[in-house]
Chains A and B, each alone.
Chain A
Amino acid sequence: MKILIVEDEPKTGDYLQQGLGEAGFVVDLARDGLDGLHMALNGEYDLIVLDVMLPSLDGWGVLRTVRRSGRETPVLFLTARDQVEDRVRGLELGADDYLVKPFAFSELLARVRTLLRRGKAKEPEVFRVGDLELDLLRRRVTRAGIKIDLTAKEFSLLELLLRRQGEVLPRSLIASQVWDMNFDSDTNVIEVAVRRLRAKVDEPFEPKLIRTVRGMGYVLEVPEAQ
C-alpha cells in the first residue's frame, strides 16, 4: 500500500511519514502543493493525505486538479481549520475524509485503514481470531466452542474490533462507529464498555485477546508468544 503525504510543516510531515511507514505503508512525502500535485499525477498511490494550507498551491487546488485528471485516489484532508464550510467544501471537491489538527495519530491510522479498505472484496460473514468466533448472520459469538451472550452494543463493539483486528482503535473511533457519538464524549464510557466485553469474552479464557494500548486505544489480536 502506497501513501502520499503532502504536508509543509516539517515536523508533522516527518512524523507522519515515520508513523505510517512503521505501520507498514510505503510513504512518500511532498513539502508543498506543486510537488505534491506532481507526485500525485505521476505516481500510483492508494491514498493521499493532504494538508489544506500549503505553499504554492493549497490542498483544494491539488485535489481539484487530481480529480480533473480522472484519478479517484482516496484523499484524506488534514487541516487546522475546523470550519463547517471548509469541511463541506473539501467533501464537495471530492475529499473522502477530513481530520482536524491536532489529531491523535491512532485516529489518523484508523481512518487511513478505513479508506484503504473501502471498496475492497466483500467482508466475510464469520470472523475468527484464535478460538473466538463471531457469526454476523446468526448474530452468534462463541469462544472455545462456548456460546457467549452479548448485548447488541457489545456485539457491535466486538464486531468492530474483529473487523479491524490487529489495529489500535482509538476511543473516539469506537464511540463514533458503535454508538454514533461523533463528538468528544465521555471516554470513560468506552473504557467501561470494553471492560464489560472483556469480562465476557476474555476473562474466563486464555489467551487474552483484547489489549489496551495506553493513551491510544484498544486492539484485538492473538498476543505474540512470549
Chain B
Amino acid sequence: MKLRYPLSLTTRLALLFALTAASLLIAVGVLLGRAVEAHFAELDDHELRGKLALIENLLQRADLPSARDMLPQRLDDAFVGHDGIAVFLRDKEGVVSYAIHPSSFLAGVLAGDELPSGIAKWEKDGHHYAGREQSLRMQGADGTTTYIRAVVGLDITHHATFLDAARLRLWLAISLAAVMAALLGWWVAHAGLAPLRRVSEIARGLSAERLSQRLTEAKAPVEVRELVDAFNGMLSRLEAAFQRLSDFSADIAHELRTPISNLMTQTAVSLSRTRTADEYREVLTSNLEEYQRIARMVADMLFLAKADNGRLPGPHELVALADEARALAEFYEALAEEHDVNVVVRGAATVHGDRLMLRRAISNLLSNALRHSRPGSTIEIDVADDGPQVMLRIQNHGDTIPADQLSRIFERFHRASAERHHHGEGAGLGLAITRTIIETHGGTVDVESADGVTAFRIHLPRLIHGQTSTE
C-alpha cells in the first residue's frame, strides 16, 4: 500500500526509535531466555548426576549379601520424600530391581528402552521431566562384578512454569518498552526538530516587503544551520534582485517623468496664447525630439526586459570581433575626429555569437570611451584570442573613474557623473545593455580605471559548447 502523503519526519523518527528499541530488546530477551534455560539445564544435570553418584555409592557399599538385601531400604531412605525424583534400576536383562515413582517415566523407557545419552527431556501427564541413564558397576564381595543400569528422572515442571511466566513477562516488557520508545522517540524528534519549525515559521512570515529579514539560528544544530545559511543566501540573492527590480521601476518612473513634464509644460505654455506658425512648429519639433528620447528609452528597457526573460537571440553565427570593431571605428571616425581622438584596432579573434548584438555591445563601449577621451589621445581596441576565451579591450585616456563608481557603472540608469545628463545616449542604459548582451553570450565584462586610463574588457567564450558553425 502506498501512502498518500509521505510520513512526517517526527513519525518516521518515532517509528525508527520503536523499531530499534524493540529489536535490541528482543535480542537481549532471547539471549536472556537462553541463559536462564541453560542455567536450569545445568542445575538439573547437576542434581541428576548427584543422584546417580548417590546410587552408585549405595551400590558399592552393598558388597555383602546382607548389605545387598538392605539396598532397597537404603534407596528408599535416600529418595522417599523427594516427590520430584523417580528412580529405577534394572540389570542387563531388564529385570527391574528397584523403582520409585516409576509412573514419571514414559512407557517405552519402563519397557526397557534406553534414555538417549546425555540429559533427556520428556513430558508426561502435564509434567516436565529431565532424566539420565547410567550403567553402574556393583562389586560383589565374592569378586563378581555386575552392572546395574540406573535411570533417574527429575520433575522440572516448576522450571518450565517459571520460564514460561518469565518469557511472557519479558515479551510484555519488550512490547511496552517499544511503545515507550516510540512515544519517547516522537517527543525527542518533535523537540529535536524545533529549530526546523522555527525556520519555517520565519519563512512563512516573509514577503516581498520583508525580504531583509534573516533567519537567526546561531544556536541551531549544525545540520539546521546549513539549511539556515542556504536559506539566508537565497534571501540575500532574492533581496538584491528584488531591490534591483524596484530600483529599476523607480528609475523608469523618474526618467519618464522628466521628459513628460517637459512636454506638458512646453505644450501648456505654447497654448496659453496665440502664436505664429513658426512658433508652433518649433514647439512640435521640440516635442518630437522629446518623444524620440522617450521612445528610445522604452526600446532600451524592452531590450533589457527581453534579456531578463532570456528571449534574446543566442549565439548562432561566427563573428570576427576585430572586423566589427573596425566597422564601428569607421562609423565613429567622424565623431572621433571632431573630438581630436584617434581610434586604433589591433589583433583578431572569432567568436560564436549574434553579430548585431555584439556590434551593439562594442558600440556602446566605444561611444562611452569617445565621450570620456581627452582630446589628442588615442582609443585602443585590442582583440586577442586566448585559447578557449576571446578578449576585447577598449582603452581610453581621460578622467579616472572613482573606485566607488566602477562597481556600479554597469547598473541600469547609472551615470558616472550627474552632468552627463542630456547626452545623446539618453538614459544611462548603454553599459547595462552591453553587459546584458555579453552575459547572454556567456561572457563577462569588467572595467578598470587608474591614472587617467580606463579600460573596459570583454571576455567571451570562443565557442559555445554544443554549437557548431553553420555559417
Contacts and interface: CB of A to CB of B under 8 A. Distances in A.
Interface stretch (A29-37, A126-134, A185-193): A185-193
Given A181-B359, A215-B292, A189 B334 contact: yes
A214 B285 contact: yes
Given A179-B327, A186-B332, A188-B335, A104 B363 contact: no
B24 interface: no
Pick the most buried of B334, B335, B424: most chain A CB atoms within 10 A of its CB: B334
Contacts of A83: 306, 311
Interface residues of B: mostly helix, strand, loop or mixed?
Answer: helix
A182 interface: yes
Contacts of A183: 356, 359-360, 363
Interface in B397-456: 424-425
B334 A196 contact: yes
B368 to A, nearest CB: 9
Contacts of A192: 334-335, 338
Nearest to B303: A82
Interface in A178-220: 179-189, 192-193, 196, 214-216
B356 A185 contact: no
A146 B211 CA distance: 73
Contacts of B299: 82, 100, 184
A182 B335 contact: no
Interface residues of A, number: 25
A53 to B, nearest CB: 16
B313 interface: yes
B363 A182 contact: no
B334 A186 contact: no
A100 B311 CA distance: 17
Interface string B263-303: 00000000000000000000001101101100110111010
B330 interface: yes
A186 B362 CA distance: 12
A184 B296 contact: yes
B311 A186 contact: no
Interface in A39-75: none
B110 to A, nearest CB: 105
Contacts of B232: none
Contacts of A38: none
Nearest to B363: A185
A188 B331 contact: no
Interface string A67-105: 000000000000000111000000000000000101010
Nearest to A180: B327
Pick the most buried of A82, A102, A186: most chain B CB atoms within 10 A of its CB: A186
Contact of A189 (B285, B306, B332): B332
B367 interface: yes
A215 B288 contact: yes
Contacts of A147: none
Contacts of A185: 331, 360, 363, 367
B331 A179 contact: yes
Nearest to B426: A184
Nearest to B357: A183
B298 A181 contact: no
Given A84-B313, A183-B359, A192-B335, A215 B367 contact: no
B295 A102 contact: yes
A153 interface: yes
Nearest to A178: B331
B41 to A, nearest CB: 89
Interface residues of B, number: 30
A214 B289 contact: yes
Nearest to A83: B311
A184 B300 contact: yes
Pick the most buried of A180, A184, A214: most chain B CB atoms within 10 A of its CB: A184
Contacts of B330: 153, 179
B335 A186 contact: yes
Nearest to B338: A192
A188 B332 CA distance: 9
Nearest to A105: B288
Given A84-B313, A189-B332, A215-B292, A102 B425 contact: no
Contacts of A82: 299, 302, 306
Interface in B320-375: 327, 330-335, 338, 356, 359-360, 363, 367
Contacts of A179: 327, 330-331
Nearest to A102: B295
Contacts of B334: 153, 189, 192-193, 196
Contact of B367 (A186, A196, A214): A186
A213 B327 CA distance: 27
Nearest to B367: A186
Nearest to A179: B331
A182 B333 CA distance: 17
Contact of B311 (A84, A102, A153): A84
Contacts of A181: 331, 359, 363
Contacts of B327: 179-180
B338 A102 contact: no
Given A83-B311, A183-B363, A184-B300, A215 B331 contact: no
Nearest to A186: B367
Contacts of B425: 186
Contacts of B292: 104, 215
A181 B302 CA distance: 19
B467 to A, nearest CB: 17
28 contacts: A100-B299, A102-B291, A102-B295, A104-B292, A104-B295, A153-B333, A175-B331, A179-B327, A181-B359, A181-B363, A182-B356, A183-B359, A183-B360, A185-B360, A185-B363, A186-B363, A186-B425, A187-B424, A188-B335, A189-B332, A189-B334, A189-B335, A192-B335, A192-B338, A193-B334, A214-B288, A215-B285, A215-B288
Given A153-B330, A184-B300, 12 more contacts: A83-B311, A84-B313, A102-B291, A102-B298, A153-B333, A179-B330, A185-B360, A185-B363, A186-B424, A193-B334, A196-B334, A215-B286
In the A-B complex, the 3 residue pairs with the closest CB atoms:
A215-B288, A192-B334, A179-B331
